[in-house]
Structure 1
């Protein structure tokens, strides 16, 4: 059976690194390229982080493309420091090396997207796990680009009006609301969205049937990927666990949330999603509180001709198997 072709667009922080590893570990998938966007950190750090992940997994043959350094409209947004200044926990010792620059292709990420989709019409699944700026740029450069995709998977937005950056908006969308709006209005290919609430409602419990929490069990595998994940999460893991336990009403329960991996898992195996709602969606661009919020429209009051599949629940057994495999490499 032919491998599924994946193109990953990322703002590579820690959860992005986990998601990329999941795609790399799956034998039914071929990653045809990784495009980089600002978000968790600067686009240069993002490129550097992707190159590092590929090196750890011994997959440096995969091409990496530099993309947007700021939103489509307006000035630069402030970066979150949740994953450290560099997006990977500020723990890597070889940050002064310039070798990574030789690994970045000269072609801009948006142009690479257009070219790869044109060369593989109807075969590429695009998985976007950062701000959607590169995707918006691609459709502005070539309005036919989305129709050349097989489908689109997004980690971003929200489905209940609960935010993690503002009271109503999720990080990836609020970092560039205009781009999120453009993508969800103009990409007519099948679109699947893993919202922030969906990922939080499917948190993985800290405790398994073994006397270790699930996260510790995974990162203590004797592999390069697991050791790398243990390193880059060494500073933020304890904080995340304590924060989740102390904010159960916000985060829907205790557990850890590999946010971006949910979108990759759904792309790899749609059976990981056990329930979803198919409806029109739109990104709100106005207001001091609502800007960047994803609005669902089950009754199609917007009179849109296309809709998106918004994930609601997950098969955690299938998901955990993919997550475990992601760190069992190279």
Structure 2
């Protein structure tokens, strides 16, 4: 159960390997209640995402947290190919013979859960989006007032310099469902903070630091090391000079505002018609469109604080707070 003095988070995820560490960081936080986790297609199919989330929760004995399966197709049904970075199952194709049973997944659809929980915790609930925004866009379509009930919405996705990681101009989460991202940015009507792909790239961490924190031992560390092995091999084959987390930066901003060094309130939308720029987040830096600001874009991260949070995940490594 949650308590009034603790912050309430609802996490929407497509449960790739970076989502796993981000979720674990949230569960480790002493002043946060994760009241539910909603799943959407992205790094894997929605049902597989749900199975992945159960595996994460099992590692820290938190299978009491409800997990909801959501949309398995983008809004317009144009499902995209994904890279092999996370493996075909999102978790590096590492089998788990002791994985939790699927029966632990909730029968309620994730979109219905989003609407219901926003009403139950009106004004208290922060939505943390680590994935394509299909579930959130569907919730807006079914319940246009959902944004007014949220305390905050945090999004990892998009780009503010037009640099893509799936196309020349589009970041993966927005690329996977550009129309959903367009709906959320333009219609959610909540305070939105975005950590973009470029911000993640500009604050990647040295491989030496990554190796040091993965050598700590314990259930959490061993779990992450296993599911990240394929991703790390992929990164090194591509000659990436550093390890590049993504969702971890967003959850760090949620948990510790002092992680954010600089941010900008701007109007941003998503290109849904361009041939080369489809899925790109377009930021009106010069206020040419003369529209009110709708997002806060995080542009600089306090690297010391962030790296400290990653290391802290493995202090008292097998104890995550149960509420």
Q: TM-score range by the shorter chain?
A: over 0.9
TM-score (normalised: structure 1): 0.92
What is the DSSP-based 3-state SS (H/G/I as helix, E as strand, rest coil) of the residue aligned with 1:295? strand
Q: 1:56 aligns with which of 59, 76, 80?
A: 59
User: Unaligned 5+ residue runs, structure 2?
Assistant: none
Matches within 5 A, 1:73-112: 73-94=76-97, 99-112=100-113
1:243 matched to 2:246: no
What's the counterpart of residue 16 of structure 2? 13
TM-score using structure 2 length: 0.94
In structure 1, what is the equivalent of residue 312 of structure 2?
A: 325
Match of 2:273 in 1: 286
| Correspondences of 1:270-281 after superposition (within 5 Å) | 270-281=257-268
Q: Deviations 1:2-50 (Å, cap 9, x if unpaired)? A: 1111110000010110110110111111101000000001111100000
Alignment of 1:47 with 2:42, yes or no, is no
Structure 2 equivalent of residue 181 of structure 1: 182
Among 284, 297, 307, the alignment partner of 1:297 is 284
Question: Partners of 1:81 and 1:205 in 2: how far apart?
Answer: 22
Aligned length in residues: 314
Distance 1:103 1:321 in 2: 33
CA distance in 2, matches of 1:304, 1:3: 35
Aligned-CA RMSD value: 1.5
- Any conservation in 2 of the 1:46–1:87 contact (CA below 8 Å)? yes
Partner of 2:250: 263
8 A contact 1:21–1:53 mirrored in 2: yes
Query: What is the distance in 2 between the residues matched to 1:274 and 1:72?
Result: 35
Residue matched to 1:113: 114
Aligned to 2:297: 310
Partner secondary structure for residue 114 of structure 1: helix
Verify the 8 A CA contact 1:174 1:292 in the aligned structure 2: yes
Alignment check: 8 A CA contact 1:188 1:306 kept: no
Q: Once the 2 structures are TM-superposed, how far is the Cα of residue 242 of structure 1 from its aligned partner?
A: 4.4
User: For residue 234 of structure 1, what is the aligned residue in structure 2?
Assistant: 229
Gaps of 5+ in 1: 207-212, 246-253
Alignment partner, residue 195 of structure 2: 194
Query: 1:122-271 counterparts in 2 under 5 A?
Result: 122-206=123-207, 213-245=208-240, 254-271=241-258
